Amino acid sequence: MAWRGLAIPAPDWSEKADRLYARVPTTSTADLWALPNPPHHTLPTNALEGILAAQATVADAAARRLYIGVLRLAGGRSEHSVEGSPTTGSWAVIDETGSPILAVEQMCLQ
């Protein structure tokens, strides 16, 4: 897997105690959709892209499937930061108030 970062810029990760942390760069829905009135989405797209890219760093080169054991989506709020571990496959996307808007557990590429 390779990310070019043209529409969705990659997070600038920092590492502490085997966990990755990053502020999530913003991308407008107009940059993602070629429509006059792009849809509003509750999935934290930028954070999820960053998580997938980070998770791919520990995947087998022949990985073809994404497995997620648990995904909890609160949605509706603006993504702000992301933290997690590609080793454990646990990730959290946090809004500006510190509330979780996405939690992923048991993520791995197989």
The residues near 94 (Cβ < 8 Å, ≥ 6 apart) are 79, 80, 81, 82, 83, 100, 101
Pick the residue with more confidence: 77 or 15? 15
**pLDDT at residue 39, rounded to an integer:** 82
Mean pLDDT of 90-102: 91
Q: Which tokens belong to 46?
A: 């930028």
In this predicted structure, the answer to whether residue 63 has a pLDDT above a threshold of 90 is no
Assign 106 a pLDDT band (cuts: 50, 70, 90). Answer: very high
Instruction: Name which of 10-14, 76-80, 92-96, 97-101 the model is least confident about.
Output: 76-80
Map tokens 């603006």 to a residue: 78
Give the residue extent of every domain in the chain. Answer: 14-25+40-109
**pLDDT at residue 69, rounded to an integer:** 94
Asked whether 94 and 101 are in contact (CB, 8 A), the reply is: yes
Centre a 10 Å sphere on the Cβ of residue 49 and count the other Cβ atoms it contains. Answer: 19
